[in-house]
Amino acid sequence: MTRPVQTVTSELLSELPVIPAPVGDLLLAGLDLTPRRRVPAWITDPDVIASILAGFVDIPNDLLGDIR
């Protein structure tokens, strides 16, 4: 005797909220799903910039200042 197939769908997955683009970009970068593009303008050393973009160095939000 076989059981009929029953599909269960969660309302949380079927009606996802709309996330504003700036928040979504930061969230995806924080989860390492997109490359990091936030480098403070006061950082000029190419090796440090590469380390920030690779995610090895994390700059606190209060030190970001001008972003390039």
What does the pLDDT read at residue 23? Answer: 77
Domain extent at residue 41: 36-68
Q: According to the model, what pLDDT value does residue 47 have? A: 92
Strand, coil or helix: 38: coil
Q: Which residues pair with 40 in a beta bridge?
A: 67
- Tally the C-alpha atoms within 13 A of residue 63's C-alpha that lie toward its C-beta: 7
68: Cβ contacts below 8 Å, ≥ 6 apart:
39, 40, 41
Looking at residue 14, what is its pLDDT? 67
What's the predicted TM-score (pTM) here? 0.41
Confirm whether 57 is domain-assigned.
Answer: yes
CA dist 30 and 26 (Å) reads 6
The per-residue pLDDT for 18 is 76
Q: How many domains does the chain have?
A: 1
Q: pLDDT digit string (tens) for 15-67? A: 767 777 777 777 887 787 876 667 887 888 999 888 888 878 887 777 766 55
pLDDT at 22 (0 to 100):
75
Query: Does 9 map to a domain?
Result: no
